[in-house]
């Protein structure tokens, strides 16, 4: 089962988050028919945004991150909420590139030029929008940079994914963030563990909770289960369509006899017919 584990380490001065989310990335792979490279790219961004959502404090909170880069995969977007219901999409789910040094070339899939935009809605104020220029296309580096520049919180990301025979074999991440006033000693000590060359192998072998305890010496920790789950519904798409106005919808009906609304996060089509449009505006008139 997927896990998000949070703990304080380094004498309580460093926030540690450990995520294992193979099932989430596998669900994304099935929904979008992702290539191995697509899984590597979208999987890492799903992990990073899951981390951000795990630190939302209000039930109304939600976060989205959009990569608009010049890479082969096109734009990539992931969104999620306080309840760790995550979803994502990539322009070209079948993206393929030759491997580089035996690894999927995620940086070339994302691109080195472009932007990472994060919209953070904490649930009680205006959403905060942070935009960062891409620098390397490496997802861990881009989020580390985003946190330093836009949120001004030093946060280190180590994001991993592995695929085998068109399936996600492993996905996860380790994030550390010093609390305000953390001592240099704690930062160095936890930073050394974070930089272990076998970090990925250890995370692969253990569940997130055991990993936090055994590798980072975490004592008290909290554990939650994230899910790949879209929040779209027929009612939601109906509202979106209504915002186009009756004339526009009648026009669309004239062309095809039906209106197809597509949710790109879960690849679901919602089809509306003339009687649905009649009902939309009949009810709209009643409400007015």
Residue 284 CB, nearest approach to Zn ion (Å)? 24
Residue 59 CB, nearest approach to Zn ion (Å)? 21
Nearer to Zn ion, 99 or 262 (CB): 262
CA dihedral sign, ordered 105, 110, 116, 120: negative
> From the list 72, 199, 232, 242, which residue makes contact with Zn ion (rule: CB under 5 A)?
232
Q: Which stretch binds Zn ion (CB under 5 A): 13-21, 157-165, 204-212, 225-233?
A: 225-233
Residue 87 CB, nearest approach to Zn ion (Å)? 7
DSSP code at position 262: E
Spatial distance between the Cα atoms of 132 and 150, rounded to a whole number of angstroms: 7
Nearest to 193 by CA among 210, 172, 176: 176
266 touches Zn ion by CB under 5 A: yes
Q: Which stretch binds Zn ion (CB under 5 A): 2-10, 34-42, 192-200, 228-236?
A: 228-236
Q: How many CB atoms lie within 10 A of CB 146?
A: 22
Spatial distance between the Cα atoms of 41 and 33, rounded to a whole number of angstroms: 14
230 touches Zn ion by CB under 5 A: yes
Residues shown for the chain: 288
Spatial distance between the Cα atoms of 268 and 75, rounded to a whole number of angstroms: 19
Q: Which stretch binds Zn ion (CB under 5 A): 123-131, 211-219, 243-251, 259-267?
A: 259-267
**3-class SS shares of the chain: helix, strand, coil, % to 5:** 35, 30, 35
Q: Which stretch binds Zn ion (CB under 5 A): 21-29, 164-172, 217-225, 266-274?
A: 266-274
86 touches Zn ion by CB under 5 A: no
Q: Are 48 and 110 in contact (CB under 8 A)?
A: no
263 touches Zn ion by CB under 5 A: yes
Give Cα separations from 202 to 9, 38, 209 (angstroms): 18, 24, 12
- Pairing label, strands 259-263, 268-272: antiparallel
29 touches Zn ion by CB under 5 A: no
242 touches Zn ion by CB under 5 A: no
Q: Which stretch binds Zn ion (CB under 5 A): 25-33, 89-97, 105-113, 265-273?
A: 265-273
79 touches Zn ion by CB under 5 A: no
Spatial distance between the Cα atoms of 63 and 48, rounded to a whole number of angstroms: 11
Residue 86 CB, nearest approach to Zn ion (Å)? 12
30 touches Zn ion by CB under 5 A: no
Binding site for Zn ion (CB under 5 A): 230, 232, 263, 265-266
């Amino acid at each position: 089962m997927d896990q998000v584990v949070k703990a304080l380490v380094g004498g309580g001065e460093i926030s540690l988050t450990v995520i294992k989310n193979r099932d989430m990335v596998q669900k994304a792979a099935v929904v979008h028919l992702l290539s191995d490279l697509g899984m590597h790219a979208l999987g890492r961004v799903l992990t990073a945004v899951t981390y951000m959502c795990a630190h939302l404090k209000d039930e109304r909170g939600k976060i989205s991150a959009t990569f608009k880069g010049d890479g082969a995969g096109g734009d990539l977007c992931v969104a999620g909420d306080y309840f760790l219901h995550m979803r994502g999409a990539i322009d070209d789910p079948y993206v393929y590139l030759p491997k580089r040094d035996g690894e999927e070339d995620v940086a070339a899939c994302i691109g080195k030029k472009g932007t990472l935009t994060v919209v953070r809605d904490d649930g009680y104020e205006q959403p905060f929008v942070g935009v960062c220029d891409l620098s390397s296309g490496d997802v861990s580096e881009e989020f580390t940079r985003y946190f330093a520049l836009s949120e001004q919180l030093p946060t280190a990301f180590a994001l991993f994914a592995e695929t085998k025979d068109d399936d996600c074999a492993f996905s996860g991440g380790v994030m550390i963030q010093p609390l305000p006033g953390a001592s240099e000693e704690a930062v160095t000590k936890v930073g050394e563990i974070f930089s272990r060359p076998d970090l990925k192998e250890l995370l692969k072998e253990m569940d997130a909770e055991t990993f936090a305890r055994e590798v980072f010496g975490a004592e008290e920790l909290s554990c939650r289960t994230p899910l790949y789950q879209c929040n779209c519904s027929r009612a939601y798409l109906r509202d979106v369509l209504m915002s186009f106005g009756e004339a526009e919808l009648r026009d669309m009906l004239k062309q095809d006899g039906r209106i197809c609304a597509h949710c790109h996060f879960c690849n679901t089509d919602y089809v509306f017919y003339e009687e649905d449009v009649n009902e939309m505006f009949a009810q709209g008139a009643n409400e007015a």
